[in-house]
A and B are shown apart, each in its own frame.
Chain A
Amino acid sequence: MSQIQYTNRAKPVDRRPLNFIERLYLWNVFIGMFITLKHFFKKKATVQYPEQVREVGTAYRGLHILNRDEEGRERCTACGLCAVACPAEAITMEAAERLEGEEHLYREEKYAAKYEINMLRCIFCGLCEEACPKDAIYLSHTFTPTNYHRKGLIYTKEDLLIPNPKTQPEEYAKAKGLIEEKKKK
C-alpha cells in the first residue's frame, strides 16, 4: 500500500489494525504514564514574572520614552510626524512656542506643550521611533504597564519624559542605559 507524499514533513497515518497488546489498552496507558512521569521531573518552563523577568532582545519594543539632550532639554519639537506615522492613532500632541528664558528647557523654538500616548491603543510597532527626525522618542525595554483605570493608561508628557541628566543624573543614567543598549543594534 503506497501513500502519496505531498510534503517531506508529513508522517503518514498508521492505519494498521491494532495488535493484541494495543487492544488491551493497559500497556499503552503504562507507556503514556511513563511519559508524563518524565515530564514530572523535567525542568519547568515557567518564568516567575514579577521576581524574574525574561531577558528581552535588543530590538524589543516596550514603553515609550521622550528623550532629552545632554543639557537636559527636551528634544521634541512637536512636528507631529510620530502622530502621523502611528497606525493606531495613539499619539496626541499640542505644540507651543518657546518663550524668552525657556532655552534651558526646550532645545528648539517649538516644543510639545501636551504630549499624550494612549497605551491602550498603542500596538508598540515602533513606527513613531522611526519617524522621529529629532531622536526624541524611543521605545524602551519596560513592558506591561497596569492600571485600574483607563485614564491611568493615557500617558502624559511627565510620564514619558526621561529624567533630567542635570537634576536627576542617577535616574537618567539608569534610563539611558536601556536606550544606549537599544541604539547599539
Chain B
Amino acid sequence: MNIYLLAIDWWFIIEKLVLIALIVTLCLIIAMYETYGERKVAAFIQDRIGPNRAGPFGILQPLADGGKLFFKEEIIPLASSKYLFVLGPTLAMITALLTSAVIPWGTSLEIGDRNVPLQVADVNIGVLYIFAVVSVGVYGIMIGAWSSNNKFSLLSGLRAASQMISYELAMGLALIAVLMMSGSLQMSVIVNKQMSGALGGLGSWNIWYQPLGFLVFFTCALAECNRTPFDLPEAESELNFGYHQEYSSMKLGFYLFAEYINMFMSCILMATLFFGGYDIPFVNESNLAAHIGQNWVALLSFICLLAKAFFLVFVFMWIRWTVPRFRFDQLMHLGWKKLIPLALVNMIITAALILWLKS
C-alpha cells in the first residue's frame, strides 16, 4: 500500500497543474475581453461605435479599465463586517473559476507517449459538480450584500438568492432530460455521445432532441448569471447597483469579473451539453486525426468549442441590449409557474420516448 502511495505520477501532476494555470488564465482573459465585447455589442446595437481609442479598435480598453480599477481607492465601510466583506468577492471569483474544472476543452493531446486529456478532472458526477459549485456562487453575492450593511445591498442579496434558487430548479429539471439521453453525468461521456451522429456529429447534438430543454436551460442560465432581463440583483435604476454598491477598487472588479466568467462558463456548459461540446461539425475527428495528427485536431476542437461558446455569449449580450428587465413578481411567475412545469413536461416526454424506443 505504502509503495503505491509513493509511486506518484509526477508527469500527471505537472500536466494537470499546467492545464489548470492555462484554463484559469484563459477564463480571465476571456472575461476581460467579454467586457470589451459587451461594450462593442451595446454600441453597435445602439448605432454607436464603442471604445476605439486604446489601441487599434480599442482592444487595449480592458487593460485600461483593469488598471483603473487597481488604482482606485480601496474602501471598506466602517459599519460593514470586514471579513465577510472581503470574503464575498473572493467567493464569487473562486466559484466562478471552479466550474471550469470538469469542462472537456478538446480532444486529448499527444505529448511524447502520453495521452493528455484537455480536461482537469473527468469526474463521473461532472454536471452535478457544476451545479453544486454554481449554487455556492450565490453565497458570494449574499455574503457581500449582507456584510455591506446597506439596505439596497441587502435587498439585492435577497433577490439574488431567491432568483438563483428558483431558477436552479428549472435548470436542473431541463438538464435531467439531457442526462437521460446520454445516460451519464460525466461530461466526457455526454460530449462523446454527441460526436457519433450523422454529418460528423452534427446530427447527434442534443439541441436537435431537446429544443425545449435548451430553451428552458438557456433562460435559466440568463437568470443564474444575473443577466438582463433577469438582472434584478443589480438593477441599477432601483437598487443603485445592488450587492456591489459598497465595493470599490479590485473587489468591485472581482464581482464584475466573476459575473463575466460565469457568463462564459455557462455558455461553455451550454455548448458542451447541447451543441456537441468540442465536436467539429461535418468532420469525423478520428479520420482527421489520421491525416493531420492528434494535436492539431485537439487544437481545432478547442477552437470549435470556443466558437460555439462565443456565439452564445454574443446571444447573451444581444438579449441584454434588447429585452428590458422583468419585474420581480414576473420573474417568480416565470420561474415557478412556467419554466418548472415546462421542464417537467419535457422530462416526462423524453423519458416516455426513451422507454418506447428501447422496448
Contact = CB atoms under 8 A, between A and B. Distances in A.
Interface stretch (B41-49, B180-188, B291-299): B41-49
> Chain A: interface secondary structure?
helix
Interface in A98-156: none
B241 interface: no
A36 B45 CA distance: 6
B129 interface: no
Given A29-B323, A32-B323, A39 B47 contact: yes
Interface stretch (B7-15, B66-74, B314-322): B314-322
Contacts of B321: 36
Nearest to B314: A40
B48 A29 contact: no
Contacts of A43: 47
A15 B310 CA distance: 40
Interface string A26-47: 1001001101110110111110
A44 B48 contact: yes
Contact of B49 (A26, A33, A35, A46): A46
B338 to A, nearest CB: 9
Contacts of B319: 29, 33
A37 B322 CA distance: 9
Contacts of A44: 44, 47-49
Contacts of B322: 29, 32-33, 35-36
A45 B45 CA distance: 12
Interface in B320-340: 321-323
B27 to A, nearest CB: 27
Contacts of A42: 47
A43 B48 CA distance: 9
A39 B45 contact: yes
Contacts of A32: 322-323
Contact of A36 (B48, B52, B215, B318): B318
Contacts of A40: 41, 44-45
A48 B50 CA distance: 11
A45 B47 CA distance: 6
Contacts of A36: 45, 318, 321-322
Nearest to B52: A48
Contacts of B52: 48
Contacts of A29: 319, 322-323
Contact of A37 (B48, B49, B318, B323): B318
A39 B318 contact: no
Nearest to A26: B215
A32 B41 CA distance: 15
B323 A39 contact: no
B244 to A, nearest CB: 27
A29 B27 CA distance: 30
Contacts of A35: 322
Contacts of B44: 39-40, 44
Contact of B48 (A26, A33, A46): A46
Given A29-B322, A32-B322, A33-B318, A39 B46 contact: yes
Nearest to A33: B322
B45 to A, nearest CB: 5
Nearest to A40: B44
Interface string A6-30: 0000000000000000000010010
B160 to A, nearest CB: 23
Contacts of B323: 29, 32-33
Nearest to A43: B47
A81 B131 CA distance: 78
7 contacts: A26-B215, A36-B45, A36-B321, A36-B322, A44-B44, A46-B48, A46-B49
Interface of A: 26, 29, 32-33, 35-37, 39-40, 42-46, 48
Sort A-B residue pairs by CB-CB distance and give the 9 closest, nearest first. A36-B322, A46-B49, A36-B45, A32-B322, A40-B44, A33-B322, A45-B47, A44-B49, A39-B45
Given A33-B319, A42-B47, A45-B47, 14 more contacts: A26-B215, A29-B322, A29-B323, A33-B318, A33-B322, A35-B322, A36-B45, A36-B322, A39-B44, A39-B45, A40-B41, A44-B44, A44-B48, A46-B48
